[in-house]
Every structure is written in structure tokens, then in C-alpha cells.
A = this chain, B = another copy of it.
């Protein structure tokens, strides 16, 4: 058989997280701290809205961009966060933020374009940069003005202008929320380079000290706001995410919608009605449980190792004394499932721990983690 594959497809690897899952599947009674989805159920009101939609035969195609009622509700939801009303035509709903990211990269990112990530980054970002044969630049997530200046020096040397700046705040894997000072630095950087900013706010609901500021508030003309219902309302498997754009980027949304006609077609219809209800459904009880766990795990871990303060999301990202791949392999021998930091960073000596799990599991797992750090340190 001849080599039947298109060259592009060799540019993408199996997600390393899945490899951990495969290993994990073989362990009896694991302590699983690797999970990337909430352990609470879809809130009752949201579930009822989806069931009602199915009962009412809301099962046919929606508009490609998503139900106009959902796009209007998203605009209303975002207004106090970003400071302006988004035209519903400048919102696209797709099958999750992952789909949004793919449509966005297909639309914007050409070969050799310069894309800026904050390290550590969500693992899909570098995978998409590579798949689109673009050039990746990074600054640390804890960046200050000096880091931005040094980035500008590198870009100048390479004769490059940034095309896209993409980051998640709150962050997966660190839980860190960028400060307003940092957002201002990114805003200025985008202006200098005439770059598009993709602000991935999928963990925005998990903001325990109310520190989150939407990038679009500081850079309203350059920021695409990405969000969805997978994390906030435990709808990971139901596939509803969105992107909201300012008027200057209406064309980006249109092109993404056109490509969606030939790819995802639309986000699942009945689930979109659930999303409308989700926008009106708070998760205070769930958040107070998560916050308690965050405090618990941060308290335990910060005694034995360094980690960024986990403002939000449901992850912590502690340092370990050995390569994260080895650490994860050794942890599996002790029934403990973790995600190695090297898939999120050029620095291989950190571990992602998810606290979206029961407190007794979390406590036992964090205990084993600390033992290992002490033993290996």
C-alpha cells in the first residue's frame, strides 16, 4: 500500500493526557487526580431545559452560527464582563471551545505566522500551532514588562510580527488568573503588532476570589472572547462553546461560520437550549465545594513544594524534583493518577493535579504526592 496520508496529518500526536488515561485504565481502585471535568452533575434546571427541548422536537438543524436566542443571551451575559454589547451576528456557537479553536486557527493562522502562548499553556494551543505550521513564541505566565521586551527583541531578530496571542485565564494547568497589569501589557503588545487576541475564558466561572478580568474589557477592539458550558455547567460531553468578536473582527466570525457549514454544521440543537438556561443558572454551591478543595490541596502541597497560587479553575501545578514523565510513572505504581507538566510547558518539572474529585481521594492523593516529593527531593 502506498503512503496514503496527507503530510499535514503527521503534524499531530495523540494527546499525552490520553496516554495517562490508558495507563490509568489498567489500575485497580486508582486515586484519580488527572480529571479535566467537574465531578458535579449538570445543574437540574439546565438538564430540564435540554429534556424539554428534546420533548419539543428541537432536534433539527439550527442556524450554522447557533440559535439566535443563544447568541443574544451570550451577548447579554458578556456585556458586564467585557463592557460592550456584542452583535449576535458576531457570535459563533460550535461544538465546544476545541472546535472554536480549530475553526479560528484554520481561519487566521497561515504557515510561519507567529503565535504567542503563555507557558504553561493549554496543550491544544501548541498542537494547533504545529498543525498549522506556524511559529510558536512563549513568555512565562508570570510575565512582566521585561519578558515582553525580551519577546519583542526575539521577534525583531526573527523579522516577525505576532499574528495571534492566545491564552487561558484562569489557566489550565496552573489555575492562575492574569492580573490587570499583565492584561494591559498584552493589550499594548497586540496594538504594536496589530495582532488578534484569543482570550480563552472557559474556566472563568471558577474564580474563587473574584479576580478575573476579561481581556476584552482592556482590549475591546482586538479581543475574541472564547467560552462555553463544558466546565461551568459540567457539559463537557454535550459540546457547546462559543466565540464573541468585536465589530472589527466580524469577518473572522463569518469565515468561521462558513467553514462550520462544511465541518461541525452546528452545535447540538437541544443542548443549545440547555446553554441558554445555563447562562441564567448560577453554580454557587458547586463553587464553594471546589473552593474548599482548592484550599485543602493548596494547604497540603505548599508545605512541601512550590506552586503558582491557584486563583481559579480546578487545578494546581506544583513543582516536582524529577522529570514529570518519570514522576507520573512512579505515581501510577502507587495508584495515583496525575498529568505530567511537560505537555503544558517547556519546563518538564511540574505536575497538574485536578481537585475536581472527592475530598477523601484528594487528601490521600495529595499525601502520596507529598511523600514522593520528599523521597525524591
A131 at the interface (CB under 8 A from B): yes
Query: Do residues A248 and B1 form an inter-chain contact, with CB atoms below 8 A?
Result: yes
What residues of B have a CB within 8 angstroms of the CB of A76 in the complex?
A: none
- In whole angstroms, what is the CA distance A41 to B269 when docked? 14
Measured between C-beta atoms, what is the minimum distance from A322 to chain B in Å? 28
Stretch among A140-148, A173-181, A255-263, A360-368 lining the B interface:
A255-263
Measured between C-beta atoms, what is the minimum distance from A100 to chain B in Å? 10
> Beta-carbon contacts of A82-103 to B below 8 Å, as 1s and 0s?
0000000000000110110110
A45 at the interface (CB under 8 A from B): no
- In whole angstroms, what is the CA distance A132 to B7 when docked? 12
A14 at the interface (CB under 8 A from B): yes
Stretch among A46-54, A150-158, A303-311 lining the B interface:
A46-54
What residues of B have a CB within 8 angstroms of the CB of A2 in the complex?
A: 194
Specify the main secondary structure of chain A where it touches its partner: loop
Query: Do residues A264 and B264 form an inter-chain contact, with CB atoms below 8 A?
Result: yes
What residues of B have a CB within 8 angstroms of the CB of A8 in the complex?
A: 106, 110
Given contacts A41-B59, A110-B8, A163-B4, contact A128 B235 (CB under 8 A): no
The interface centre, meaning the residue of A62, A237, A248, A268 with most chain B CB atoms within 10 A of its CB, is A237
Identical copies of this chain, number: 2
Query: Do residues A262 and B12 form an inter-chain contact, with CB atoms below 8 A?
Result: yes
Query: Do residues A237 and B12 form an inter-chain contact, with CB atoms below 8 A?
Result: no
- In whole angstroms, what is the CA distance A54 to B44 when docked? 10
- Cβ-neighbour of A236 out of B15, B61, B95 (below 8 A): B61
What residues of B have a CB within 8 angstroms of the CB of A127 in the complex?
A: 262
A57 at the interface (CB under 8 A from B): yes
Closest to A131 in B: B262
- Cβ-neighbour of A18 out of B113, B128, B261, B268 (below 8 A): B261
Measured between C-beta atoms, what is the minimum distance from A328 to chain B in Å? 19
A295 at the interface (CB under 8 A from B): no
A109 at the interface (CB under 8 A from B): yes
- In whole angstroms, what is the CA distance A95 to B37 when docked? 20
Query: Do residues A6 and B110 form an inter-chain contact, with CB atoms below 8 A?
Result: yes
- Cβ-neighbour of A262 out of B6, B51, B60, B98 (below 8 A): B98
A252 at the interface (CB under 8 A from B): yes
Pairs across A and B, CB under 8 Å, 22 listed = A4-B108, A4-B252, A5-B108, A8-B106, A13-B258, A14-B258, A15-B258, A42-B57, A50-B270, A59-B235, A59-B236, A60-B237, A61-B237, A95-B265, A98-B265, A101-B262, A131-B262, A238-B268, A239-B265, A239-B268, A264-B264, A268-B271
Which 5 A-B pairs have CB atoms at the shortest separation, nearest pair first? A237-B269, A6-B110, A268-B268, A102-B263, A60-B237
Additional A-B contact list (10), CB under 8 Å, known A9-B255, A14-B258: A6-B109, A13-B258, A15-B261, A47-B54, A60-B237, A62-B237, A96-B264, A127-B262, A237-B266, A237-B268
